[in-house]
Chains A and B, each alone.
Chain A
Amino acid sequence: MSENTLSARQHVLILEPGRAERHYWRDIWAYRELFAILAWRDVAVRYKQTVIGAAWAVIRPFLTTVVFTVVFSRLANLPSDGMAPYAIMVFAGMLPWFLFSTVLSEASGSLVGNANLIGKVYFPRIIIPSSSAVVALVDFAVNLAMLFVLMAWYGFPPTWRLALLPAFVVLAVLASLGPALFITALNVKYRDFRFIIPFIVQFGLYASPVGFSSAVVPSAWRFWYSLNPVVGVIDGFRWCLLGGESALYLPGFLLSLGVVALLFWLGVAYFRRTERSFADLI
Chain B
Amino acid sequence: MDSDIIIRAEGLGKKYVIGHQAETERYLVLRDVLTRKAQGAWRKTADILRGRVIVSGHSFEEFWALKDVSFEVRRGEVLGIIGRNGAGKSTLLKILSRITEPSEGRVSIKGRVASLLEVGTGFHPELTGRENIYLNGAILGMTRAEIKRKFDEIVAFAEVERFLDTPVKRYSSGMHVRLAFAVAAHLEPEILVVDEVLAVGDVEFQKKCLGKMDEVAGHGRTVLFVSHNMQTLSALCSRGLVLSQGKAIADSSMEEAIAAYTVQVATQNSAAPHVLYDDSTGVKSISDSSVVRVEMLDHEMAPKIVLPSCGSVIFRIWIRSRSAIPQGSVILSIRTASGMTLAKFETNPRRIQPLKQAGDHYVDCCIDSLPLMPGQYFVSVGLAHYGVRLIDWKMDIGTMLVAEPSDLTIEMSGYPEGPLVIQHRWVNESAPQTQLAVGPGR
Binding site for B on A (CB under 8 A): 1-3, 6, 10-19, 33-34, 37-38, 41, 44-45, 48-49, 116-123, 186, 189, 270, 273-274, 276-277, 279-281
Contacts and interface: CB of A to CB of B under 8 A. Distances in A.
Contacts of B111: 10-11
Contacts of A274: 51
B48 interface: yes
Given A6-B1, A45-B127, A121-B139, A270 B97 contact: no
Contact of A279 (B100, B109, B110): B100
Given A10-B110, A45-B127, A120-B99, 8 more contacts: A6-B1, A15-B95, A15-B108, A17-B103, A17-B105, A41-B131, A118-B99, A189-B53
Contact of B101 (A17, A117, A186): A17
* Most chain A beta-carbon neighbours within 10 Å: one of B113, B134, B135, B139: B139
A2 B48 CA distance: 42
A16 B102 contact: yes
B1 A121 contact: no
A162 to B, nearest CB: 34
For the complex of A and B, the 9 pairs showing the least CB-CB separation, nearest first, are A122-B98, A273-B51, A37-B138, A120-B121, A15-B107, A13-B109, A279-B99, A279-B100, A120-B117
A41 B103 contact: no
Contact of A122 (B51, B99, B103, B118): B99
Contact of A121 (B3, B101, B122, B131): B122
B94 A279 contact: yes
Contacts of A38: 135, 138
A121 B115 contact: yes
Contact of B127 (A41, A117, A189): A41
B52 to A, nearest CB: 9
A37 B135 contact: yes
Interface string B113-131: 1010110011010110001
A80 to B, nearest CB: 43
B42 interface: no
A16 B97 CA distance: 13
B179 to A, nearest CB: 16
B109 A6 contact: no
B181 to A, nearest CB: 14
Contact of B140 (A15, A45, A121, A280): A121
A190 B390 CA distance: 27
Nearest to A37: B138
Contact of A270 (B51, B100, B144): B51
Nearest to B44: A190
B228 interface: no
B60 interface: no
29 contacts: A3-B1, A6-B1, A6-B110, A10-B110, A12-B108, A12-B110, A13-B98, A13-B108, A14-B106, A15-B98, A15-B102, A17-B102, A17-B105, A37-B135, A41-B131, A44-B127, A45-B124, A45-B126, A117-B122, A120-B115, A122-B97, A122-B115, A123-B141, A186-B48, A274-B51, A277-B53, A277-B100, A280-B16, A280-B100
B43 to A, nearest CB: 14
* Most chain B beta-carbon neighbours within 10 Å: one of A17, A116, A274, A276: A17
B102 A44 contact: no
A184 to B, nearest CB: 14
Contacts of B152: none
Nearest to B53: A277
Contacts of A2: 1
B196 interface: no
B138 A189 contact: no
Interface in B326-344: none
Nearest to B125: A45
A19 B108 CA distance: 13
Interface string B4-42: 000000000000100000000000000000000000000
Given A6-B1, A14-B107, A279-B100, A117 B54 contact: no
A29 to B, nearest CB: 13
Nearest to A118: B99
A12 B115 contact: no
* Most chain B beta-carbon neighbours within 10 Å: one of A3, A19, A44, A121: A121
A12 B7 CA distance: 10
